Structure 1
């Protein structure tokens, strides 16, 4: 007779959490954030509502963790779309010695991410909900946006040390010159978001940041 094996509760919990996170992202992409419910996420994940409420207080909290998990898996080289603002899987923005080329690579990747339905729907949902819910908005900024923005700050400071960017430029303000136009066009949906547009943003921005002759 085969020996009895005790069920692995940790493994079962991990499977449930994974199913819940994946279901939250899928539902938001399919039906939109307003129509996504805890009940719907639970049904799709094959768990009870109380299982979700044991770990998260709201659907917004579930979506936040699902999006952070998606980003972590992408950065680790796993499947899934990459979050907006993160240029590529890896620890930071490339530094090839050519600032324009590095920034164009980053912004082109960001365009691809913003145009990807897998990340567009949850990003729009979190952005909108963060305006209504200041606590969620602060978490979204702290956990997702600030770490990404710091990558730009680090690259721009390196460019300052190399003499490619004026010493009096504030890197945090400079990165907003790069990111804000993309987000503005993406949020309004009035004009297409393209690689060519990303390249133009870099060219125009660097004209303002470069040392004067």
Structure 2
């Protein structure tokens, strides 16, 4: 099955696309039922689409398996066959949607600062997308539910941290800046902390000034750490 794109929304910094099919709001994904040990891809997409649509419309507290099943056009028992809870569905939704949106795609020829700023703009756009709302909801729920916190940290957050570390290392190499693993950990915190702070604590848009300043400060610290190793 060819991969399709679910949503694309331009925010002035370039479009972000996720990994599920685009469709008019409220329209169901066509479901093809299939019995057996493997879940139908059309059922999976219908459930994931329904989950993040309803999250945006109603919020985390009002999101229910019953509501997801009704919107997706599948039986509730079908959902429980593959997911234990709405949190598990949202975790799958987040992983799917972030796969492309939060990848690093540094343009050839860009300076380290330009490449880092471009990636941070992708992150800022992500927080405006339905997938970003899913991440915010899961992070909020994780403060109250230890199982959610463990699943989020051991899965999506761990994998994304590895991608961010590798991506930053590649960008720094454009200026022959090298830092050790502990330095990279610090730089990833510096790089993403202001964006998460703005989006999660205040719910405010992440403006271009914050993005560009964060990129500049992160690179300045990277250069200091690299010089200290010489």
Query: Which position in structure 1 is the counterpart of 2:219?
Result: 206
Query: In the superposition, relative to structure 1, how do residues 12 and 204 fare at CA in structure 2: closer, same or farther (>3 Å)?
Result: closer
Check conservation: 2:179, 2:222, Cα contact below 8 A: yes
Unmatched 5+ residue regions in structure 1?
1-6, 76-81
Check conservation: 1:93, 1:151, Cα contact below 8 A: no
Query: Which position in structure 2 is the counterpart of 1:142?
Result: 154
What TM-score results when the alignment is normalised by the length of structure 2? 0.72
Query: In the superposition, relative to structure 1, how do residues 39 and 8 fare at CA in structure 2: closer, same or farther (>3 Å)?
Result: closer
Check conservation: 1:156, 1:165, Cα contact below 8 A: no
Unmatched 5+ residue regions in structure 2?
1-32
After TM superposition, where is structure 1 displaced by more than 6 Å over at least 4 residues in a row? none
Which whole-Å CA distance do the structure 1 matches of 2:128 and 2:114 have between them?
A: 21
Give 1:8 shift.
5.4
Query: In the superposition, relative to structure 1, how do residues 179 and 31 fare at CA in structure 2: closer, same or farther (>3 Å)?
Result: same
Check conservation: 1:32, 1:121, Cα contact below 8 A: no
Residue 94 (structure 2) pairs with residue 67 (structure 1): yes
Check conservation: 1:160, 1:167, Cα contact below 8 A: no
Give 1:67 shift.
1.9
Give 1:93 shift.
4.5
Give 1:53 shift.
1.1
Give 1:185 shift.
0.7
Check conservation: 2:139, 2:149, Cα contact below 8 A: yes
Give 1:169 shift.
6.3
Residue 98 (structure 2) pairs with residue 98 (structure 1): no
Aligned to 2:75, which of 32, 48, 54? 48
**1:94-135 deviations in whole A, cap 9, x for unaligned?**
27472211110100111111122x123211111112222222
Q: CA RMSD in A?
A: 2.8
Query: Which position in structure 2 is the counterpart of 1:33?
Result: 60
Check conservation: 2:55, 2:134, Cα contact below 8 A: yes
Aligned to 1:187, which of 175, 194, 200? 200
Query: Which position in structure 2 is the counterpart of 1:164?
Result: 177
Which whole-Å CA distance do the structure 2 matches of 1:57 and 1:50 have between them?
A: 11
* Higher CA-based Rg: 1
Name which of structure 1's ranges 54-63 and 14-23 shifts more when overlaid on structure 2: 14-23
Which whole-Å CA distance do the structure 1 matches of 2:205 and 2:174 have between them?
A: 35
Equivalent pairs counted in the alignment come to: 191
Which whole-Å CA distance do the structure 2 matches of 1:189 and 1:15 have between them?
A: 37
